[in-house]
Structure 1
Amino acid sequence: MTFPRRASRALQQKQQHRLVTVLVVLGALLNTRVHGQNTCPRTYYVQESTSALQRAICEPPCVHGQLCVSPNVCQCPAGYAGNNCAEPICSPSCRNGGQCVSPNVCECPHGYGGKSCSQGIVSAVYNKAGDQCLRGHVIKTVSGPSRMRCVAACMRNTRCKSVNYYSTEQLCELNGVTADEAGTSDWFHDADCAYYQSSQNPSCE
Structure 2
Amino acid sequence: MAFRTVCVYAGSNPGTDPSHADAARALGGLLAAQGTGLVYGGGRTGLMGVVADAVLEAGGEAVGIIPGGLERREVAHRGLTELVVVDTMHERKTLMAERADAFVALPGGLGTIEELVEVATWTQLGIHHKPVGLLDSAGYWGPFDAFLDHAVVAGFLRAENRAAIVLDPDPAALLERLVAWRPTSVQKWLELDER
TM (normalized to structure 1)? 0.21
Higher relative contact order (CA 8 A, sep 6+): 2
User: Which protein has the bigger helix share?
Assistant: 2
Q: Which has the higher strand share?
A: 1
